[in-house]
Amino acid sequence: MFDDRRRQKRVAVNIPIRVKGADIWGNQFEEVTKSINVTSDGACFPLKHNIKPGSMLQLSLPLPRHLQKGAAPKAVYQTIGLVVRVEIVGTSQTSRVGVKFRTAKIKQYRSES
């Protein structure tokens, strides 16, 4: 009945996301949450801090092993997320936030052993 006009397919996956940004009052925060779903150009996740659409958030996500290069490195996908949607979830203090990824940078970490 309705056409799905999304450019990218959403994948329901629960991965940790470290979020840094400023709330609606300008207070800096850092929160660790888990994704609800992701696409190649964005993500949806719950957030306890009050933010508004148009905000920019710093995001860090683990890169799946099959996309990592080399035997030992652990990769972290770091990007800026433009907040495109904020939905209040029920009567809780949590919002469901949708972001579009703006830039990407992959950091390689190696064990020191």
CA dist., res. 87 & res. 36, Å (int): 13
Does residue 22 register a pLDDT over 80?
A: yes
CA dist., res. 51 & res. 86, Å (int): 8
Domain ranges of the chain: 11-109
Does residue 108 register a pLDDT over 70?
A: no
Does residue 112 register a pLDDT over 70?
A: no
Q: Give the pLDDT confidence of 52-89 residue by residue, as tens digits.
A: 999 999 999 887 666 555 555 557 888 899 999 999 88
Predicted TM-score (pTM) of this structure: 0.77
CA dist., res. 70 & res. 96, Å (int): 35
Least confident of 6-10, 42-46, 68-72, 86-90: 68-72
Is there a contact between 66 and 112 (Cβ–Cβ < 8 Å)? no
Superfamily of domain 11-109: Electron Transport, Fmn-binding Protein; Chain A (2.30.110.10)
Is there a contact between 56 and 100 (Cβ–Cβ < 8 Å)? no
